[in-house]
């Protein structure tokens, strides 16, 4: 079964005070749109077995969750079934753009040292003596699943990465662990209040922005 040719349109910005920054922002959005459309269209040309009654289409959903003169945050979720060895369902692939510079936010500069885990898939466990990342502790404090395998995965010292995006309506940093397929169902989406994240933001102007 082949999926239909997908349609996808990312937003564009206008009215920014700096025309060059606006051009750069829209170039980032256009590039992301083109890359994702290419992936979905390539998948649409691949036949893949689906179980009787199964009707999973390759698709992507997108919504703007944070927009101010400083930041644009986009919550994008992708489903790929046709050209994947197993279903990749509703995977988060968010991004945030700094509208003052025109570039995607560099998370290592956005947050203070020690907030983000440092994924290293060549090392099976976090080295002894290295403190647990603050982001992981905040995530754990709100994790609600009771399945023993999921609780173990979330608490494990393996340094998984995290998908992050800003959500203005919830005044939160939304967090989803980047777990492997076998435990993907354990990766709950959790909104951490910005008030708890602000102490770990590196730039004072950004702290003021997110405090409003």
Q: For position 18, which CATH number holds?
A: 3.30.565.40
Q: Tell me, letter by letter, the H, E, C secondary structure of the chain.
A: CCCCCCCCCCCCCCCCCCHHHHHHHHHHHHHHHHHHHHHHHHHHCCCCCCCCCCCCCCEEEEEEEEECCCEEEEEEEEEECCCCCCCEEEEECCEEEECCCCEECCHHHHECCCCCCCCCCCCCCCCCCCCCCHHHHHHHHCCCCCCHHHHHHHHCCCCCCEEEEEECCCCEEEEEECCCHHHHHHCCCEEEEHHHHHHHECCHHHHHHHHC
In total, how many domains does the chain have?
Answer: 2
- End-of-domain residue from the set 105, 131, 151: 105
Q: Do 205 and 111 lie in a common domain?
A: yes
CA distance 189 to 164: 10
Q: Do 164 and 146 lie in a common domain?
A: yes
Q: Do 117 and 212 lie in a common domain?
A: yes
- End-of-domain residue from the set 46, 74, 105: 105
Q: Do 110 and 98 lie in a common domain?
A: no
Burial 83-107 (b: 16+ CB within 10 A, else e): beeebbeebbebbbbbbbebeebee
| pLDDT recorded at residue 71 | 97
Q: Do 115 and 45 lie in a common domain?
A: no
Q: Do 11 and 94 lie in a common domain?
A: yes
Q: Do 127 and 200 lie in a common domain?
A: yes
Q: Do 25 and 44 lie in a common domain?
A: yes
CATH of residue 148: 3.90.640
Q: Do 166 and 133 lie in a common domain?
A: yes
pLDDT at 6 over 60: no
Mean pLDDT of all residues belonging to the chain = 83
Q: Do 23 and 85 lie in a common domain?
A: yes
Looking at the whole model, is its pTM more than 0.95? Answer: no
Please say whether the beta carbons of 36 and 8 come within 8 A: yes
Please say whether the beta carbons of 6 and 60 come within 8 A: yes
pLDDT at 4 over 60: no
pLDDT at 3 over 70: no
- End-of-domain residue from the set 105, 138, 155: 105
Which domain covers residue 184, as residue numbers? 106-212
Question: pLDDT per residue over 91-117, tens digit each?
Answer: 788 999 999 999 999 999 999 999 998
Q: Do 175 and 79 lie in a common domain?
A: no
Q: Do 41 and 58 lie in a common domain?
A: yes
Question: pLDDT per residue over 141-193, tens digit each?
Answer: 999 988 998 998 888 866 678 999 999 999 999 999 988 878 888 999 999 99
């Amino acid at each position: 079964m082949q999926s239909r040719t997908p349609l996808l349109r990312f937003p564009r910005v206008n009215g920014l005070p700096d025309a060059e920054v606006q051009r750069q922002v829209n170039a980032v959005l256009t590039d992301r749109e083109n890359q994702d459309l290419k992936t979905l269209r390539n998948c649409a040309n691949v036949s893949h077995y689906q179980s009787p009654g199964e009707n999973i289409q390759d698709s992507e959903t997108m919504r703007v969750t944070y927009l101010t003169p400083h930041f644009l945050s986009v919550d994008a979720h992708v489903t790929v079934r046709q050209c994947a060895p197993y279903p990749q369902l509703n995977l988060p692939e968010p991004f945030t753009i700094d509208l003052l510079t025109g570039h995607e936010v560099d998370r290592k500069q956005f947050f203070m040292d020690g907030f983000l885990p440092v994924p290293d898939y060549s090392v099976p466990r976090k080295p002894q003596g290295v403190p647990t990342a603050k982001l992981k502790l905040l995530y754990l404090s709100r994790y609600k699943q009771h399945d023993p395998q999921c609780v173990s995965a979330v608490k494990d010292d393996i340094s998984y990465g995290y998908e992050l995006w800003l959500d203005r309506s919830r005044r939160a940093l939304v967090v989803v662990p980047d777990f492997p397929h076998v435990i993907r169902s354990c990766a709950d989406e959790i909104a951490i209040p910005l008030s708890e994240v602000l102490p770990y933001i590196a730039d004072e102007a950004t702290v003021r922005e997110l405090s409003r």
